[in-house]
Amino acid sequence: MSLLPLTPSLRPFLEEYLPRPCSNRPFVTLTYAQSLDSRIAAKPGEQTKISHLETKTMTHYIRSKHDGIMVGIGTVLADDPKLNCRFEAEDGNISTPRPIILDPTGKWAYHKSQLRSVCDNNKGLAPFILIDETVTPRNEDVEVLDKQDGAFVRLPLLRNADKVGNWNIILKKLFQLGIKSIMVEGGASIINDLLVYSKIIDSLIITIGPVFLGKDGVEVSPSGHAGLIDVKWWQGIQDSVLCARLT
């Protein structure tokens, strides 16, 4: 399905929250869609439509401004996402951000995924898959990634109980790999962790759909207080979009 045209008012609205150069780590944008009751899915592992096609175009526009798109293993197993960018710039170019999958224990069979097909068809880049240094990836996945110029990135993810320390390790390594800006899209555990790490998140962009998903839904709620500054709102055909920075 082709994207709707980007609503013109979104460009100036988003501008100040898009990546700018950082000296020693990637610029990190945390963005996701949620219901009015702060759910990102109706049930664990269930793909749930929340946002309008208008803000789907916005998501691809934001992707076009980043070097990488990060999701966790839960999102990958539930949605089998393509993680590419389909927004066409005015000059006709389509950006190719690098998919980044946080999969510490090596659960994902990449060679069977939609993303593998996207890369085979030259519609996007092969991923960087972040695994713990003790994990041995599947031979099939290693072979496919080698051919597609993707990679398994081994890091000490499981031995460190300090989540902030883990994120600093991840961001430092990705910066070394040429990823200067990252759009983090989920899932819930990653979102909830990052919402309380104000020094890691540079911009927050939340799409809010006019729906309640109920008490069985997958909730986004940080473990502690998370204040916002530089808050701006945008109202679309159906959805509202919040842009802000964490204090």
Does the pLDDT at position 1 exceed 70?
A: no
Confidence of residue 204 (pLDDT cuts 50, 70, 90): very high
Between strands 218-219 and 39-41, the pairing is antiparallel
So what's the pLDDT on residue 162?
Answer: 74
Of 111, 41, 112, 105, whose CA–CA distance to 78 is shortest? 41
So what's the pLDDT on residue 228?
Answer: 97
Answer yes or no: is 75 a known binding residue: yes
Answer yes or no: is 189 a known binding residue: yes
Confidence of residue 90 (pLDDT cuts 50, 70, 90): confident
Answer yes or no: is 101 a known binding residue: no
Query: Other C-beta atoms within 10 Å of 1: how many?
Result: 6
Q: What is the pTM of this model?
A: 0.95
Does the pLDDT at position 220 exceed 70?
A: yes
Answer yes or no: is 188 a known binding residue: yes
* Across 74-95, average pLDDT: 94
Domain boundaries, the chain: 9-14+25-246
- Measured CA to CA, the distance from residue 37 to residue 153 in angstroms comes to 36
Does the pLDDT at position 242 exceed 70?
A: yes
Answer yes or no: is 40 a known binding residue: no
Structure tokens at 13: 């609205």
What is the residue-averaged pLDDT of the chain?
Answer: 95
DSSP-based three-state secondary structure for 27 = strand
Answer yes or no: is 191 a known binding residue: yes
Confidence of residue 185 (pLDDT cuts 50, 70, 90): very high
Confidence of residue 159 (pLDDT cuts 50, 70, 90): confident
Q: Give the pLDDT confidence of 26-65 residue by residue, as tens digits.
A: 999 999 999 999 999 999 989 899 999 999 999 999 999 9
Q: Which residue has the higher pLDDT, 76 or 1?
A: 76
Answer yes or no: is 230 a known binding residue: no
* Across 77-95, average pLDDT: 93
So what's the pLDDT on residue 23?
Answer: 81
Answer yes or no: is 79 a known binding residue: yes
Q: Which residue has the higher pLDDT, 21 or 194?
A: 194
Q: What are the φ/ψ torsions at residue 21 (nearest 5 degrees)?
A: -60, 135
Structural fold of domain 9-14+25-246: Dihydrofolate Reductase, subunit A (3.40.430)
So what's the pLDDT on residue 4?
Answer: 95
Query: Other C-beta atoms within 10 Å of 228: how many?
Result: 15
